[in-house]
C-alpha cells in the first residue's frame, strides 16, 4: 500500500524545504522524545523501514505540510513506480509541455 511511500514523499518535502537530515533528525528526536539514528532516518526515507503514525504526524508538522498532502504525494509516487521507463518519460515530457504552455499563456 502507499504507506510504504511516506518516506519518499517526506524526503521530497524535506529537500524542497532545504532541510538536511541532521536538522530533521534533531527536531524529530526533540519532538517525539525518541533517539532515532541518522541511519534509521535514511532507511525510512528510502522505504526500507516503516514510519509509524506518531512519527509521521511529527515529521509532517516539522516540514510544515499537511498529512493529506504527504498522503497524496505518496499515492502519486506509488502509482508512478508501477509505470515502465518509457511511460515515466512520456509523463515527464507531458508535464514539461504543460508547464511550458502555462508559462507562455500566463499573461493572457
Q: How many structural domains does the chain have?
A: 1
What would you report as the CA-atom Rg of the chain, rounded to the nearest whole angstrom?
Answer: 16
Rounded Cα–Cα distance for residues 74 and 4 (Å) = 8
21 occurs within a structural domain: yes
DSSP-derived letter for residue 49 is S
Expressed as residue numbers, the domain containing 42 is: 2-83
pLDDT digits (tens, 9 = 90+) for 54-105: 999 999 999 999 999 999 999 988 888 887 888 878 877 888 888 889 888 8
pTM of structure? 0.71
Mean pLDDT of the chain: 90
C-alpha cell at 63: 516540514
CATH at 42 = 1.10.260.40
Would the pLDDT of 1 be above 60? no
101 occurs within a structural domain: no
Contact between 40 and 13 (Cβ < 8 Å): no
Q: What is the mean pLDDT of residues 1-24?
A: 90
Amino acid at each position: 500500500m502507499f504507506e510504504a511511500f511516506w518516506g519518499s514523499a517526506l524526503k521530497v518535502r524535506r529537500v524542497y524545504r532545504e532541510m538536511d537530515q541532521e536538522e530533521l533528525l534533531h527536531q524529530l528526536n526533540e519532538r517525539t522524545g525518541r533517539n532515532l539514528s541518522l541511519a534509521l532516518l535514511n532507511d525510512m526515507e528510502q522505504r526500507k523501514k516503516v514510519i509509524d503514525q506518531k512519527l509521521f504526524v511529527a515529521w509532517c508538522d516539522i516540514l510544515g505540510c499537511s498529512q493529506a498532502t504527504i498522503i497524496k504525494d505518496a499515492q502519486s509516487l506509488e502509482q508512478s513506480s508501477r509505470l515502465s521507463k518509457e511511460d515515466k518519460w512520456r509523463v515527464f515530457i507531458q508535464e514539461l509541455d504543460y508547464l511550458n504552455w502555462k508559462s507562455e499563456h500566463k499573461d493572457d
